[in-house]
Amino acid sequence: MVFRIVKTALLIAFALANASFVSGPGAQAQTHKTPLQIKAPFVATQIVSEAAKGPVRIIVEVKPATTPGYATLGTAHENMPAILSDNLAVEDAVITAHFGSPASSIESSKSLVHTDVLPYFGITATLPEIESLASDDRVVSIDLNVELRPNLIQSVPLINAPAGYKSYGATGSHWAVAVLDTGVQSNHLFIAPGVIAEACFSSPVSQSFCPNGLTAQYGKGSGINCDISVNGCEHGTHVAGIAAGFNHELKAQQPINGVAEFADIFSIQTYHKSSDAVQCKPAPTCATTSVLDIQRALQYVYSVRDKLSGGVRIAAVNISAGDDSHPYPAGGCDNAPGASSLKPIIDKLSAVTIPTIIAAGNAHSTTGIDFPACITTAIAVAATDKTKGAPAIRAPYSNYSSDVALFAPGSGTPDAAHPLTMILSSVPKNFNCFYVYGCVNYTGPAPTLPSGSYAYLSGTSMAAPHVAGAWAAIKTVFAAAKVQDVLTALQVTGIPVANV
């Protein structure tokens, strides 16, 4: 069976100039008996099961405000301050009715977290509390707040990106990739000064990674990488370098640049610290994220999409995270735990031409891909090795199903004996691969300034930012291109990939 991989910005641009496409989502209604089954149709049984062990982390959607401010959402006259204020009011009304005043005591005792653009809140609740929420006519849906893990540049010439720079000026200039990850070391010589905006959303299980120690932070320094003593905290800097790195003091053996060499990075730190022995093995601690914090970050991207400095616009969102324990078979996973909380904002972003690009996962599955890549309106990316030619070869660890939209380089054999088959990109200062599977330390010349280094990593985590960077490069030339137009162009201009 043959599938497609990102090939060149040159051919992609040609395809965009000569094609138009049509798509249309479908929906299916279901009815249920109890209020909880009605409000949580796909996770009610799991909620009851989890609640038998203790309070459950859930995401609650409430009916939107009927005020004039909220009515501007998605229109040409969008009033974001009014939208945020109206959402807070309707969320607080429900919270107050069921838990008391949403003061700091409720926030700390129940891990209460508000969202912004769409009317959701996250909270930790007992089964009676959840059933009470389900019986409230103002509550639209209840979902599980699922935990996710990171899905662990010589590949830039492999996809012929330099031809796009030369022939079309497809460099990503004046566009940004929003990297929802473990944060980015913004003063790394491969990254600086490309981090144009930062934020942090970190609802802690054990510890928030926001520099201020709270569940959210905005502005300079808020999207910095988490402490590299925690396994996974190198991840975001590596991903950002692949999408939009540029080497400011190139030395032999170092990567030259990321895919969109002149694009900017919007670093949004969405992880928190976990000490879970199963999740973190063999490390004592690790970085994990949650559906709620990814949702909050996506809502923030939507709210500031036209407000970045210098007129920079957001080309794409990159999420290199997922749940490798349970790949979902072909057909999408819009009914999966967490999906109903993420899909609406993914759809809102797509409507304003911003795709949500997600790694397909590394569970070696040939029949399914990870959540949340399996959400039908996300752009799921699987990995190939770095073999140049046609057909390319699916990386042996990479998940695959017909829900995969694109392949891109992720690595060949991920071990120390084959470092040159892996993806070389930036990592934070003093990072070491000791606890990271599919990682090889870089041994070439270090940057002159002690602001970071490089490492070889493998995974669909590395494939997804190749696509996000390519998206930014294309938007340089075709600024008004819709998500489906760019996706189809990428699919029809790529080389074959053998699913072996």
For residue range 274-319, what is the model confidence (pLDDT) as tens digits? 998 888 888 899 999 999 999 999 999 999 999 999 999 999 999 9
**pLDDT recorded at residue 13:** 37
Residues in the chain with pLDDT values less than 50: 1-30, 32, 153
CB crowding 393-404: b at 16 or more within 10 Å, else e: bbbebbbbbebb
Is 387 within 8 Å of 409 (Cβ atoms)? no
CATH of 2-22+149-498 among 3.40.50.200, 3.30.2310.20, 3.10.310.10, 3.80.10.10: 3.40.50.200
CA–CA distance, 38 with 121 (Å, rounded to integer): 18
Cα distance between residue 68 and residue 81, in whole Å: 12
Domain 35-145, what fold?
Alpha-Beta Plaits (3.30.70)
Q: What is the pLDDT, as a whole number, of residue 170?
A: 83
> What residue spans in the chain does CATH classification 3.40.50.200 cover?
2-22+149-498
pLDDT of residue 168: 75
Place of tokens 């609406």: 344
pTM for this structure? 0.90
Q: What is the pLDDT of residue 91?
A: 95
Report the pLDDT value the prediction gives residue 112, as an integer from 0 to 100. Answer: 92
Query: What's the confidence (pLDDT) of residue 417?
Result: 64
**What residues form DSSP beta bridges with 121?**
60, 114
- What is the predicted pLDDT for the residue at 128? 97
User: Quick one: pLDDT at residue 104?
Assistant: 62
Please list the residue range(s) of the chain that carry CATH number 3.30.70: 35-145
Structure tokens at 461: 């985590």
Strand partners, 455: 425, 441
Give the pLDDT confidence score for residue 277 in this predicted structure.
85
SS (H, E, C) the chain: CEEEECCCHHHHHHHHHCCCCCCCCCCCCCCCCCHHHHHCCCCHHHHHHHHCCCCEEEEEEECCCCCCCHHHCCCCCCCHHHHHHHHHHHHHHHHHHHHCCCCHHHHHHHCCEECCCCCEEEEEECHHHHHHHHCCCCEEEEEECCEEEECCCCHHHHCCHHHHHHHHCCCCCCEEEEEEECCCCCCCCCCCCCEEEEEEECCCCCEECCCCCCCEEECCCCCCCCCCCCECCCHHHHHHHHHHCECCCCCCCCCCECCCCCCEEEEEECEEEECCHHHHCCCCCEEEEEHHHHHHHHHHHHHHCCCCHHHCEEEEEEECEECCCCCEECCCCCCCCCHHHHHHHHHHHHHCCCCEEEECCCCCCCCEECCCCCCCCCEEEEEECCCCCCCEEECCCCCECCCCCEEEECCCCCCCCCHHHCEEEEECCCCCCCCCCCEEECCCCCCCCCCCEEEEECCHHHHHHHHHHHHHHHHHHCCCCCHHHHHHHHHHCCCEEECC
pLDDT, residue 88, reads 94
- Which residue pairs, CB below 8 angstroms and at least 24 apart, start in 11-14? 11/493, 12/164, 12/470, 12/474, 12/486, 12/489, 12/490, 12/493, 13/164, 13/168, 13/170, 13/474, 13/477, 13/478, 13/489, 14/493
Cα gap 223→201, rounded to integer Å? 9
